[in-house]
Amino acid sequence: MRLVIVGGVAGGASAAARARRLSEDAEIVLVERGPDVSFANCGLPYYVGGEIAAREKLLVTSPEMLRKRFKLDVRTRSQVESIDRTNKSVRIRDLAADKVYDERYDKLILAPGAAPLRPPIPGIDLPGIFTLRNLQDVDRIKAAVDGGVTQAVVVGAGFIGLELVENFVKRGLATTVVELQDQVMPPFDKEMTAPILATLKAKGVTVLLGQSAEAFEAATGGLTVRLKSGPSLPAQLVILGVGVRPENKLAVDAGLDVGPRGGIKVNDRMLTSDPDIYAVGDAVETRDFVSGGPTQVPLAGPANRQGRLAANHIFGAPGAYRGTQGTAVVGVFGLVAAMTGASEKILRRTNTPFRKIYIHPANHAGYYPGAEGMSLKLLFDPADGRILGAQAVGGAGVDKRIDVLAVALQARMTVYDLEEMELAYAPQFGSAKDPVNMAGFVAAGMLRGEHPQVDVDAVLAQAASEPAAAGMLRGEHPQVEVDAVLAQAASEPAAAGMLRGEHPQVEVDAVLAQAASEPVAARPFLLDVRTPAEFAAGHLPGAVNIPVDDLRARLHEVPQDRPVAAYCQVGMRGYLATRILRQRGFDAANIGGGYRTYRLYHPEG
């Protein structure tokens, strides 16, 4: 058996090591275009910042080590230029000697990776404009930073972009992020990125959303990044982190099937359309674990597993690729954001039915010092409660909960399973009701109908659908008005209940005018069940404050002819209020995740 592997980083190196363990006799040729094999791609930004101080730390292994330990025929600085499928050989260019030769294979594994996009923007090839893929790239970027640049522009606010931003700031660079989307970290849902955006701003990063570079121009002592919207940004260092495209040229030239977004098509054994050619890693199109549809996700974990699986199949060991969940995590200035499975926007785009809940728990028992908060969003199937995706952002413990939910997703578990999970609890590590249990309680309660919930954005849109109503619903401290309200309630029709919490003189006319044109019942009554102090510190536009502990005694203040949308800070008291109200005949629902969720959609400042 003669196995040739093209690409020696994550998927390729994993395939080679696995192949050797499965077969001492196979000839294994590992062809790598660059000088390094199996380097730590994910660590590159931290070498720029100095967190990883020694460059050799980034070299997970060396060609020499692979030769000695795994008896691999490692050929670095060697580029595979073409595949001859008929004769089962590849043409290799030795870049150092500039010689070309052919190498026969019985089986071929393509692990060429994906290349950073360099969009055809005028000036893109000016010095000072970098992408980040390998050690040579990071050497250039680090040299620029070490050389004393003071202003950096990072185009693209994804994983690599934001990791570089953090490290640039650490090195003292004034840093601007330019992102085409209206949010940072595009794989996440926008509202879940609000804390990341706030953190970036707090660290002095200028974040320009919905913007893109139109041209790069040479300027005195550096560059100018001209934005489509007009303004120009000075910089001595520009990073392009706007995505990657699969390195598919070899595959396309050889006539292998390639997907619409360029990924090499493979089956669940990582076999391409040629029965002797496998492909793995960032270059392939795989199956999305949740939707079952095609996907391209450049992640190290899947690449390693795919390499292992290709070797398994070649040497008769079992295993099949289950699809990619897209489990990922990023740290940004100490904030942690992680996700697994489908996002809400993907579910919407694919018309997949879903429900969602938000919770805002602490990572461990609140009574033990040092608890850090997080916001967690869970997406699930409304029919059977199956988990479709999860996202979390916050401090310590975010990665743990997403890993737990990633396993639950893989096991095709439901929100009902989350309720029953038995996780490790001591006050430093979790809560007797872990955030994952809480997410299960809230989601399962929604599906069982015990805990009707509405989305804060939908409620506010409803509440604001008639302009006159929006102003009318502006809430004030209700406790001073109880008597007035009670008087009103006795003498006026039910619609008057809607008015408590506002200045009565101004608003009655507006409401009556409005009531003629749109049924009052269509607009939700926003009920804030927090304490007056919490309410005073900020609340939903139009909300009325009745603390949950007073609610039973003040039920007459809540209108019976309109939907009631209750909320508190994180959803717990709002849930109890919803239960109280529904059992008393009100058409009540809880605004999922409460005021904290509102603030994800409408960040302060």
Q: Which of 57, 99, 201, 261 binds a copy of itself (CB under 8 A)?
A: 57
- Count of residues near a copy of itself by CB under 8 A: 93
Q: Which of 5, 40, 270, 284 binds a copy of itself (CB under 8 A)?
A: 40
Is 568 annotated in the active site?
Answer: no
- State which of positions 135-154 bind a copy of itself (CB under 8 A): none
Are 342 and 189 in contact, with CB atoms under 8 Å apart?
no
In sequence order, the β-bridge partners of residue 101 are 92
Residues 6+ apart with CB under 8 A from 547: 529, 530, 531, 532
The C-alpha atoms of residue 164 and residue 175 are separated, in whole angstroms, by: 10
Contacts 24+ apart (CB under 8 A), 213-220: 213/121, 213/155, 213/178, 214/121, 214/122, 215/121, 215/122, 215/123, 216/121, 216/122, 216/123, 216/124, 216/126, 216/129, 217/122, 217/123, 217/126, 218/123, 218/126
- Catalytic one of 22, 42, 95, 219: 42
The C-alpha atoms of residue 501 and residue 190 are separated, in whole angstroms, by: 32
Q: Give the residue among 205, 238, 235, 231 at the shortest CA–CA distance from 220.
A: 235
CA 441 to chain CA centroid, nearest Å: 23
Q: Give the residue among 220, 223, 226, 47 at the shortest CA–CA distance from 128.
A: 223
Task: Tell me if 588 contacts a copy of itself by CB under 8 A.
Answer: no
Q: Which of 576, 588, 591, 600 binds a copy of itself (CB under 8 A)?
A: 576
Minimum distance, C-beta of residue 14 to a copy of itself, in the bound complex (Å): 8
- State which of positions 199-258 bind a copy of itself (CB under 8 A): none
Minimum distance, C-beta of residue 413 to a copy of itself, in the bound complex (Å): 6
Residues 6+ apart with CB under 8 A from 125: none
- State which of positions 262-291 bind a copy of itself (CB under 8 A): 289
- The bridge status of strand 129-130 relative to strand 237-240 is parallel
How close are the terminal C-alpha atoms of the chain, in Å? 64
Q: Which of 22, 180, 227, 470 binds a copy of itself (CB under 8 A)?
A: 22
Q: Which stretch binds a copy of itself (CB under 8 A): 38-46, 196-204, 221-229, 266-274?
A: 38-46
Q: Which stretch binds a copy of itself (CB under 8 A): 108-116, 343-351, 500-508, 580-588?
A: 580-588
Q: Which of 25, 98, 125, 604 binds a copy of itself (CB under 8 A)?
A: 25
Q: Mask of contacts with a copy of itself, 397-436, x by CB under 8 A?
A: --xx-xxx-xxx-xx-x--xx-xxxxxxxxxxxx-xxx--
Q: Which is nearer to a copy of itself, 129 or 371 (CB)?
A: 371
Q: Which is nearer to a copy of itself, 78 or 437 (CB)?
A: 437
| Class of residue 53 by CB neighbours under 10 A (exposed 0-12, middle 13-18, buried 19+) | exposed
Minimum distance, C-beta of residue 10 to a copy of itself, in the bound complex (Å): 7
Phi, psi of 341 (to 5 degrees): 75, -155
Q: Which of 75, 305, 360, 599 binds a copy of itself (CB under 8 A)?
A: 305
- State which of positions 62-81 bind a copy of itself (CB under 8 A): 65, 68-71
Q: Which of 27, 35, 42, 95 binds a copy of itself (CB under 8 A)?
A: 42
Q: Which stretch binds a copy of itself (CB under 8 A): 42-50, 222-230, 241-249, 507-515?
A: 42-50
Assigned token pair, 291? 């939707």
Q: Which is nearer to a copy of itself, 99 or 448 (CB)?
A: 448
The C-alpha atoms of residue 455 and residue 348 are separated, in whole angstroms, by: 15
Q: Which stretch binds a copy of itself (CB under 8 A): 92-100, 113-121, 510-518, 576-584?
A: 576-584
- State which of positions 318-347 bind a copy of itself (CB under 8 A): 318-319, 321-322, 324-331, 336, 338, 340
Task: Tell me if 584 contacts a copy of itself by CB under 8 A.
Answer: yes
In sequence order, the β-bridge partners of residue 130 are 239
Minimum distance, C-beta of residue 56 to a copy of itself, in the bound complex (Å): 9
| Class of residue 69 by CB neighbours under 10 A (exposed 0-12, middle 13-18, buried 19+) | exposed
Q: Which is nearer to a copy of itself, 60 or 508 (CB)?
A: 60
How big is the chain, counted in residues? 605
Which residues are marked as active site? 42
